[in-house]
Amino acid sequence: MPPPPPGPPIKLNVGDKAVHPAHGVGEVTAIDRREIGGTTADFYVIKILDNGMKVMVPVGSTGSMLRAIMTSKEADGVLETMRAREVAVDLQPWSRRFRAYTEMIKSGEPHEIAKVLRDMYRLKFDKDLSFGERRLLDQAKSILMKELALAKKMQESEILAEVSGIFTA
């Protein structure tokens, strides 16, 4: 699956939250001017909320590297994706499925990440997950739960309980 086309650049201020496709929700802690390769540019310094990692994103390329937190209505749609009964990837062997799921996570698209989460949760009820499957589940969960909680104005533990309820119902 090709990555989604870059959206329009988003304007952020210190304290704003945004989503980095590979790392999840982060907060703008600074806007720095740096010289790289003889060119001076402004960068957002983003602190990833999950692990404290700092990521620098050029101000002019936010449309391809960052996106705004989803709305509450979009979050409802993502939760509906998790409730869907289909399986996103049914390729054989596992290495092909793993690659497909990894690409879905790397897309940064919430509905795609929700499909990975849904499929891994369902698989978990059928068998013990392998290391790779557990990693996919944890990665999808860490990227999506914080954003869903922010979008729905809930605690992360509340949204996690709601998502767990979807898969145990």
What pLDDT is attached to residue 7?
64
pTM of the predicted model, to two decimals? 0.84
What pLDDT is attached to residue 101?
94
Q: Can you list the domains of the chain with their CATH numbers?
A: 17-68 (2.40.10.170), 72-168 (1.20.58.1290)
Q: What is the pLDDT confidence band of residue 81, given thresholds at 50, 70 and 90?
A: very high
Q: What is the pLDDT confidence band of residue 90, given thresholds at 50, 70 and 90?
A: confident
Q: CB-based burial of residue 112 (10 Å sphere; 0-12 exposed, 13-18 middle, 19+ buried)? A: buried
Is 50 exceeded by the pLDDT of residue 149? yes
What pLDDT is attached to residue 107?
87
Task: Report CA-CA distances (Å) from 9 to 64, 67, 68, 88, 139.
Answer: 8, 8, 10, 30, 26
- Cα–Cα distance measured from residue 158 to residue 149, given in angstroms and rounded to the nearest whole number: 8
What pLDDT is attached to residue 86?
87
